[in-house]
A and B are shown apart, each in its own frame.
Chain A
Amino acid sequence: MNFLKRLAHLVRINWYMWRIRKAKTDVTMAVARHALAAHLANGRGLPMKIGQMLAGMQDNSAYMQLTQTITPWKLEEILPVLEKAWGTPVFDVLDTIEESQAAASLGQVHRARLKDGTEVAIKVQYPDIRHAIEAEMRIAGLMPKRGPVKRWDFDLDAYKATLKKNMLNELDYMHEMRQQKHFKDVVHLEGLSVPSIVDNLCHDNVLVQSWIEGVRLSEVMSWGQLQRMQIARALMQTMFLSMFEAGLVHGDPHPGNMLFQCFDEKANMVLLDFGCMITISEERRIALLKLILLSRKECEGSALDAFATLGFNPEKLALIEDRLPLLMRILFKPFIVDAPFDLKSWHPGQESEALLAEKRWVFRAAGPANLFLLMRVFQGLVQQLISLDSKLPWWPILKQSLSKQVFEQSKKPNKKHVSPEEREQQPEGWAKSLHVRISESGKENVYLELAATSALELSEIMPEQAKKTLQNKGISLAAIEKNLLSTGLVPQELINLRDGEKEYVLWLE
Chain B
Amino acid sequence: MFYAIAVTFPTPQPEQSAQFLKNRLDFNIKYEDHSWWAENGSTSLHLTQGTSSSVLEIQCSDIVSDSSQLLAFPELEALTEIISNYHQLYQELQCDCGFKLYLTKILNEDERDELIPLTTTLPWDGTTKEQVQRILRITPLAFRDSARKKVTERAEYITVEGGGLTVGPAQAMKALVEVTLKFQHPTLYKAMLKENIDALQYLNPKSWEEEV
Binding site for B on A (CB under 8 A): 224-226, 229-230, 233, 338-340, 390-393, 396-397, 399-400
Q: Are B163 and A400 in contact (CB under 8 A)?
A: yes
Which residues does chain A contribute within 8 Å of B51, judged by CB atoms? none
A342 CB to closest chain B CB, in angstroms?
8
User: Chain A interface: which of B70-78, B102-110, B152-160?
Assistant: B152-160
Q: How many residue pairs bridge A and B at CB < 8 Å? A: 39
Q: Are A396 and B121 in contact (CB under 8 A)?
A: no
Which residues does chain A contribute within 8 Å of B153, judged by CB atoms? 339-340
B177 an interface residue at 8 Å Cβ cutoff? no
Q: Are A393 and B165 in contact (CB under 8 A)?
A: no
B147 an interface residue at 8 Å Cβ cutoff? no
Q: Are A229 and B157 in contact (CB under 8 A)?
A: no
Which residues does chain A contribute within 8 Å of B161, judged by CB atoms? 393, 396, 399
Q: Are A226 and B157 in contact (CB under 8 A)?
A: no
For the complex, give the distance between the alpha carbons of A400 and B159 in Å: 12
Contact with A along B157-193 (1 / 0, CB 8 A): 1001101011000000000000000000000000000
Q: Which residue of A lies closest to B161 (CB)?
A: A396
B97 an interface residue at 8 Å Cβ cutoff? no
Q: A226-B166, A340-B156, A396-B157 are in contact. List 13 more A-B contacts (CB 8 A).
A: A224-B123, A225-B123, A226-B122, A226-B165, A229-B121, A230-B165, A339-B153, A339-B156, A340-B153, A340-B157, A392-B121, A392-B160, A393-B161
Partner of B165, one of A229, A338, A339, A399: A229
Contact count band on B: 10 to 19
Q: Are B165 and A396 in contact (CB under 8 A)?
A: no
Q: Are B157 and A339 in contact (CB under 8 A)?
A: yes
Which residues in chain B, 109-146, are within 8 Å of chain A measured between CB atoms? Answer: 121-123
Which residues does chain A contribute within 8 Å of B157, judged by CB atoms? 338-340, 393, 396
Q: Which residue of A lies closest to B158 (CB)?
A: A396
For the complex, give the distance between the alpha carbons of A339 and B158 in Å: 9
Which residues in chain B, 57-116, are within 8 Å of chain A measured between CB atoms? Answer: none
A63 CB to closest chain B CB, in angstroms?
28
- Residue pairs across A and B with Cβ atoms less than 8 A apart, 11 shown, are A226-B122, A229-B121, A338-B157, A339-B153, A339-B154, A339-B156, A340-B121, A340-B156, A393-B157, A393-B160, A397-B160
For the complex, give the distance between the alpha carbons of A393 and B157 in Å: 6
